[in-house]
Amino acid sequence: MHKPHLLRSCKQTCTLLAIAAALVAQQPQSALKHHYDEAYRLQSEGKIPAADAEHAEFLSLALHQLANGHANAGDYAQAAPLYDEALALDLDDLALRKDYAEAAKDAQDIQKAQALLEHAFTAKSATFPPSVQAEAHRVLGDVQLTQSLNDAALANYKAAYSLDPGYESLYALAAATLTIQGDESAAPLFTQLIAHHGDTAATHMAIARAYGQAAMPARAEAEYRKALAKDPSTPGAHFGIGASLMNATSPNPAKAQAEFHKELALHSNDAMSWFELGRIAAGKEESAKEAETDLKRAAELSPRNPDIWIELGKLYIEQQNPQAAEPAFRQAIAVTIDPARNRYAIERAHFHLGKILFAAGKKDEAEKELAISEEMLDRRRKQEEDGLHGRQMVNTTLRKTHEATPAEAQQLNEFERNLAPLLAGSYNNLGVHAAMASNFKTAEADFAEAAKWQPALHGVDSNWGRAAYEAHDYQQAVAPLERSIEEHPEDIELRSMLTECKQRAVDRTN
């Protein structure tokens, strides 16, 4: 049996300047730098437990920010394991749980979102600012509302308002009350919102959106008109009136059309006004050319909106122009990240595309598209049936929630590239300190994380292999020891250790 050897620690050779340039918010920059610098200062003074606490704080905060970056870029599949890694370092971090739950909610990972926050309000959570506690309650309320857990959701919105009676909490409580209890209960809260936060166009626009989402188009229209009375150039107000007129029990396309034109007179690049004008024109046989022009303009302004491409494809089908319809339907499918969006509206694109392909003699491809269409129809029927019987509707978790812009992707990649060596260094130092205390299993895990973030980190494979060996995790020790020997073929001790690990691994499998 080999005795423990002194493992290689990382010196503070990396700089936070590159990270500071990549981060956006000033406060997280300062917090990252503080914990990073403190870890190495305490380490240099021999105060190892205190240094380890600062390394862990740095890692948790850095991983949290990196996970937020991936979530904000729409990449939940990459964000989730980073959140989990950060959470392993601090299970009681309410701000982390709140951000993770919000990302999970956006990705329709509802069970995860609920689990993260249901038992999050511990003694430590009370040490977080009231604004953070309130936001966590609001996110949990949002999650519960999607599952029709109305009483629990309302209790959380009220808790949020009690903790932080600002605009966000009051508006969330009012909107939820409207959805759950109706206009009579919500109206006093909206009156309070106006009294406390201003009788402004922005306030009336927010109230209008709440009424629109609650399927109360007449009340929404009234609020949009109040917004225009405060500021005649309010973006989206004329569009909101037009949408309300179209969503009324007796739609009024002519009046709605006039409102969409008013919106465009003020804001000519409003994609949704062009879209709605195109839809109205598409309903009139004599306006087909106008419909095509309006929908193509909408698609130019909002190329990642699948609804526009579906409508354009349907218009071409009606015009008996399958050559133009096919690329429109393909584009609709390509930009649809969530197939369940708008009750599986994308099903029609798959159906029409399948019919076009059949007519073109592409039978195999056509059958594939029609099968997808049928599967989506089945899912929609099941959701409707579950809703009728009060059963919880289960959505498939989304790997992506939206596509990042090239600029967002570049900024995130730069941040991650600059952060990786610092993460590796902190993990490596935690591993060294754990090994010095003979906590070899912990050390092995820390070195594995260090190697994940920077495989070329000097000495990390040797550290990892030695720690795994001392933890009697012989199978896991083999790969890092082999890599270390490739760099140091003259190291007889490592060779002896590797030989023993391989033999013990074989013995354990037999």
Q: Which of 77-81, 153-157, 217-221, 502-506 has the lowest mean pLDDT?
A: 502-506
Q: Can you list the alpha helix ranges (DSSP code H) found in 164-252?
A: 167-181, 183-197, 201-213, 217-230, 237-247
| The token pair that represents 249 in the structure block | 């029990």
Cα–Cα dist 502/119, whole Å: 44
Domains 17-65+406-509 and 303-403 share a fold: yes
Cα–Cα dist 163/169, whole Å: 9
Q: Which of 334-338, 436-440, 502-506 has the lowest mean pLDDT?
A: 502-506
Cα–Cα dist 152/244, whole Å: 30
Q: Which of 116-125, 150-159, 382-391 has the lowest mean pLDDT?
A: 382-391
What confidence score (pLDDT) does residue 324 get? 97
* CB atoms closer than 10 angstroms to residue 153: 23
Span 119-132, average pLDDT: 92
Strand segments (E) across 244-341? none
Span 418-430, average pLDDT: 96
On the question of pLDDT at 388 being above 90, the answer is no
Q: What is the mean pLDDT of the chain?
A: 92
Span 423-446, average pLDDT: 96
Span 393-415, average pLDDT: 87
Per CATH, which fold does 303-403 belong to? 1.25.40
Cα–Cα dist 213/178, whole Å: 10
Between 29 and 354, residue with greater pLDDT: 354
Cβ neighbours of residue 406 closer than 8 Å, sequence gap 6 or more: none
Cα–Cα dist 352/376, whole Å: 14
Cα–Cα dist 113/65, whole Å: 18
Cα–Cα dist 144/156, whole Å: 9
* CATH placement of domain 17-65+406-509: 1.25.40.10
pLDDT digits (tens, 9 = 90+) for 136-173: 999 999 999 999 999 999 999 999 999 999 999 999 99
Identify the CA nearest to 166 among candidates 138, 197, 203.
197
pLDDT digits (tens, 9 = 90+) for 344-378: 999 999 999 999 999 999 999 999 999 999 999 99
Span 285-298, average pLDDT: 95
Cα–Cα dist 210/183, whole Å: 11
Give CA 22 to chain center in angstroms.
20
Cα–Cα dist 357/353, whole Å: 6
What confidence score (pLDDT) does residue 14 get? 39
pLDDT digits (tens, 9 = 90+) for 180-194: 999 999 999 999 999
Helix (H, G, I), strand (E, B) or coil at 400: strand
H or E stretch including 388? helix 363-388
* CB atoms closer than 10 angstroms to residue 44: 11
Cβ neighbours of residue 487 closer than 8 Å, sequence gap 6 or more: 461
Cα–Cα dist 26/20, whole Å: 8
Cα–Cα dist 443/120, whole Å: 28
472-475 own/partner pairs: CB under 8 Å, 24+ apart: 472/504, 473/441, 473/444, 474/500, 474/501, 474/502, 474/504, 474/505, 474/508, 475/501, 475/505, 475/508
On the question of pLDDT at 21 being above 50, the answer is no
- pTM for the model stands at 0.89
Span 199-228, average pLDDT: 98
On the question of pLDDT at 71 being above 50, the answer is yes
Cα 102-108-112 angle, rounded to 5 deg:
65
Q: Structural domain boundaries of the chain?
A: 17-65+406-509, 303-403
